[in-house]
A and B are shown apart, each in its own frame.
Chain A
Amino acid sequence: MIQSIRQTWFSNIRADVLAGTVVALALIPEAIAFSIIAGVDPKVGLYASFCICVVIAFAGGRPGMISAATGAMALLMTTLVAEHGLQYLLAATLLTGVLQIFAGVLRLGELMRFVSRSVVTGFVNALAILIFMAQLPELTDVTWHVYAMTAAGLGIIYLFPYVPVIGRMLPSPLICILVLTGVYMASGLSINTVGDMGELPDTLPVFLWPEVPLNLETLKIILPYSIMLTVVGLMESMMTATIVDDLTDTNSDKNRECRGQGIANLGAGLLGGMAGCGMIGQSVINIKSGGRTRLSTLCAGVVLLIMVVFLSDWVSRIPMAALVAVMIMVSIGTFSWESLRDMRKHPLSTNIVMVTVVVVVVATHNLAIGVFVGVLLSSLFFANKVGRLLYIGSTESADGRGREYEVVGQVFFTSAEKFVASFDFKEALDHVRIDLRRAHFWDITAVGALDKVVLKFRREGAEVDIVGLNEASATLVDRIAVHDKPDAEKLLGGH
């Protein structure tokens, strides 16, 4: 046990602490920006990020992944906060935590296998677009100073790493924030700063129970939001966990991650924070900076809180332009640019699914709906493709008065009509033989189609002989690849 603690916490100390600090520095502007998107004080997002980060360090299933308050979740909260206020948001966060723990216990993390690559890419692209769009209010109706500062900020972020010695040793988002804050304080321009957007934390977080009435009315209000938050939160966390798995070439326990997310969100709700989930951009930054174990996540959360609580005076003087620059960097980094490049060589159905997900999400500002639509579309495309895997050939029998049909492929609801249409009922035959040895029947529609064919042949006076019913019906029952199938015979019997 000591061995595994050493492995999961202390095997990479220097790089983890460094990476955690870098991540914390990038998390501050993000947490503030996402709080503003959700319509709450920056305090809420910062407490949430601290709590979620620290709890996930202990309870999560994917070491090295960063979880905090995110844009995906913030976007779902805007209407709840606008209509009902912060307390209902905290209650929704608590309920989200509970639902996520259930999802972990019921092993719903494994449902991710129904979400195809194109839906995941669409999700990520839509998220990047939404983060970018959320910065636009800060860039409209402002003086040219703001544009200049934002452009300068982006320049620093992208060009600073090329500076000879210190470029790779100091995180460029930090330099950007420091420089722009310095310029703002020196020049005394009147532009928006973080302090203008709401309250910042001045104490360590305290335990709060949301002040909402504990009745069915409240439940009706928060339940739909909680369900969407659960779905989006778990989806993004599972996807981020998979990305980190690939980058580090290690496995992770997805169900433990679901439970960990639930516990973290419960904690966040009790400390006055909003719900959060795994963050793709920050996790990539963490891995890139050398963080590999749970220690990096813990460091990120702790450094975040220390800096925010003890440096809150300085934090309130950071101009919003600096935050906007950092967020634009995150959005550019999150967008999957090679998906645009690959659109030329991917099949049309993949592209349609991806674009549809992006369009639906941007139109509704709701990632959950986009994912549902994407999953539905990709399932339909899949069923359609497999439905074309049906070939029916026929040969005339030796005596010229009968015909043998050979069915090869998958017969199910999509292909049932094609199946029926492939038989020539107008031919006057004495006997018909249908060879099903290389066919697979998947559901009751297929059985019904076979019934129809047999009936029609009998009505024309032909004698029907079916071969290979056993093999064909092997796929009818819910348990595939079991040797004796009494259930299947019940379904397909009587031919």
Chain B
Amino acid sequence: MSERHVTACIDGSAYSQAVCDAAAWASLRLDIGLTFVHVIDKAGRAAESDVSGQIGLGSREHLLAELAQLDEQRARIDREQGRLMLDAACERAAADGVANAMSRQRHGALAETLVEMEPQTRLLVLGKRGETADTAHEHLGSNLERVIRSLHCPILITPPDFTAPQRIVVSFDGSRTARAMIERIANSPLFEGVECHLVFVGEASADCRKKLDEAKAALEGVCAGVTIAILEGEVESSLRAYKQSHDIDMLVMGAYGHSRIRHLLVGSTTTEMIRRAGMPVLILR
């Protein structure tokens, strides 16, 4: 299929409704199809345990038959539940204005399944956490980082509620990826008529200011007003302060720019930003 869709990941968590709404908004704006995906991951199931420690006549075959039967029962239940979730998601999307959303269920791990579907995905929509996550509000879902690292399409991460954004912050650091990001936004109908704040955090050189001006010019064609802001201090906290003071609805940024070694030692800026955002985050590459 040559046309690419918006792909939205549904599970039974509280985030699924926001994912539906966000996916419907994106689908209508970009005028492309919408596909809901539910991934059934068997690896999370606990194994049954019979510690009698002996094997008798035909143990191997009995064990295989028993395990296969257990798997079959659980898989059937999971699939039924998944079907219900996907139907609910399609209904909600229809209420939001997307008439013929499609749905798919796949077995396997989330990240691998999304990588398989990447060729047909123009935008991926995910909740910040899923049903297996703990209740602490700031923690990220266990799958999120892997998904973001494995995929190269744009990813929209939603908090528990979603409303169509009126004001967005585009995080700009002057790099080539940032400029590619600006170009992408400028050529897309996604943020038409939205007020855009182009934010740079750190020491702005003359070269940087020039790039900021170029970016502003590019974005002016599509957004309803572009404001440049140069902030000082730590990236995450200054951005957060800015977002609060200007009543921002969505953050747009690139991802995982720093090396993996820095990530292991220091912690990732991207992960921090997503954790503390409190609003939808769109990640562009």
Contacts and interface: CB of A to CB of B under 8 A. Distances in A.
Interface in B34-67: 42-44, 46-61, 63-64, 67
A330 interface: yes
19 contacts: A3-B142, A11-B44, A12-B47, A15-B47, A22-B53, A23-B53, A161-B52, A167-B52, A170-B51, A171-B52, A173-B53, A248-B67, A284-B63, A285-B53, A289-B50, A290-B49, A290-B51, A334-B55, A336-B60
A409 to B, nearest CB: 37
A338 interface: yes
Contacts of B42: 249
Nearest to B68: A249
A162 B183 CA distance: 71
Contacts of B60: 243, 247, 280, 284, 333, 336
Contacts of A173: 53-54
A168 B67 CA distance: 17
A378 B43 CA distance: 38
Interface residues of B, number: 27
A248 B43 CA distance: 10
A438 interface: no
A290 B48 contact: yes
Contact of B58 (A25, A249, A329, A338): A338
A281 interface: yes
Contacts of A391: none
B184 interface: no
B134 interface: no
B54 A290 contact: no
Contact of A15 (B43, B49, B53): B49
Contacts of A246: 64
Given A247-B64, A247-B67, A249-B71, A172 B49 contact: no
Nearest to B59: A333
Interface in A1-16: 3, 7, 11-12, 15
B146 A333 contact: no
Contacts of A337: 57-58
Given A247-B63, A247-B67, A15 B46 contact: yes
Given A246-B64, A247-B64, A168 B51 contact: yes
A169 B56 CA distance: 18
Nearest to A161: B52
Given A243-B60, A247-B64, A329 B48 contact: no
B145 interface: yes
Nearest to B44: A11
A330 B57 CA distance: 10
Contacts of A158: 54, 56
A179 interface: no
A293 to B, nearest CB: 9
Given A246-B64, A332-B57, A337-B58, A168 B145 contact: no
A334 B68 CA distance: 20
Interface string A113-148: 000000000000000000000000000000000000
A289 B52 CA distance: 8
Interface string A188-225: 00000000000000000000000000000000000000
Nearest to B107: A249
A171 B53 contact: yes
Nearest to B71: A249
Interface residues of A, number: 46
Given A249-B71, A284-B63, A290-B46, 20 more contacts: A3-B146, A11-B44, A15-B47, A19-B49, A23-B53, A158-B54, A158-B56, A171-B51, A171-B53, A172-B52, A173-B54, A247-B67, A284-B55, A285-B53, A285-B54, A287-B67, A288-B50, A288-B63, A329-B56, A338-B58
Contact of B52 (A168, A243, A330): A168
A174 interface: yes
Interface string A320-335: 0000000001101110
Given A7-B43, A247-B63, A247-B64, A289 B146 contact: no
Interface in B160-194: none
Contacts of A19: 49, 51
A287 B63 contact: yes
A18 B46 CA distance: 13
Given A7-B43, A243-B60, A338-B61, A168 B50 contact: yes
A157 B59 CA distance: 14
Interface string A75-105: 0000000000000000000000000000000
- Interface hub of A11, A12, A288, A330 (most chain B Cβ within 10 A): A288
A290 B53 contact: no
A434 B44 CA distance: 62
Contact of B59 (A169, A249, A284): A284
A62 interface: no
Contacts of B64: 246-247
Contacts of A259: none
Contacts of B63: 247, 284, 287-288
A170 B53 CA distance: 8
- Interface hub of B47, B53, B68 (most chain A Cβ within 10 A): B53
Contacts of B47: 12, 15, 290-292
Nearest to B63: A288
A160 interface: yes
A26 interface: yes
Nearest to A330: B55
B144 to A, nearest CB: 10
B51 A289 contact: yes
Contacts of B57: 332-333, 337
A128 to B, nearest CB: 11
Contacts of B67: 247-249, 287
